[in-house]
Amino acid sequence: MAHPLLELMDWKRRVLALCAAARAGGGAPEACAAFRAGRESLVRAHPQSPVPAERRSAFAGLRHFPHRPELRVAAALEPDPEGAELVIPTSTGEPTRFTRIGRVRPVLGGHPASLAVYWLEGYGGGLFLPFRDALAGSETYGGGRYLLDTVKGADLGTDAGGRLVLDFNYAYNPSCAYDPRWSCPLAPPENRLDIAIPAGERVPA
């Protein structure tokens, strides 16, 4: 059995490779399908899977919405002039410190939206964009989903104009959706959308 930290490094390396392939594939449905298959394999069998080892044999697999090309957009990051520091609660109640570095204002399915983008102060730093949509608690995970988490390798990059690529078909559940023992930052009030985002991962079965 490998050291847990080596297993964690391997998980991150594999996620980075999946995201690199997704960036190379652009918005092609085939690229998204390959990413989903790769993540499915990790969640099912990798030692660092958020699904507890004793439950993996019975794990029903990841559930996804059909691919929605209109929910892939690019949005400029509007800097936050104050760079406000804030604490975002986690699923276990532990605080995590972030800095709000800016905001993106995508149009999603014809609806204008506004989402804050954060910088994680710990773990060497990284971009973080959690969100919660109107389907949360029914069709999507109640605590929200993640779109960007560069500390963990989840990143679709920028377009030629330097805008963040936001592809909600790649939105994924935090680890605490599969086991409450994981501590995950939850989508704060300012990133709770009143519109449905039927793309990406659905609530686990």
Higher pLDDT, 1 or 38: 38
Percentage of the chain beyond pLDDT 70 is 98
Between 1 and 74, the more confident residue is: 74
Q: What is the pLDDT of residues 146-196, one digit of tens each?
A: 999 998 888 999 999 999 999 999 999 999 999 999 999 999 999 999 999
pLDDT value at position 205? Answer: 87
How much is the average pLDDT of 20-44? 96
Neighbours of 165 (CB within 10 A): 20
For residue 131, pLDDT beyond 70: yes
Q: Helices 29-45 and 4-24 meet at what angle, rounded to 10? A: 170
Is the pLDDT assigned to residue 1 strictly greater than 70?
no
- Taking all residues of the chain, what is their mean pLDDT, rounded to a whole number? 94
Which pLDDT score is estimated for 2? 80
Give the domain ranges of the chain: 4-191
Please spell the DSSP secondary structure of 11-69, one letter per residue: HHHHHHHHHHHHHHTTT-HHHHHHHHHHHHHHHHH-TT-SS-GGGGGG-----BPPP-G
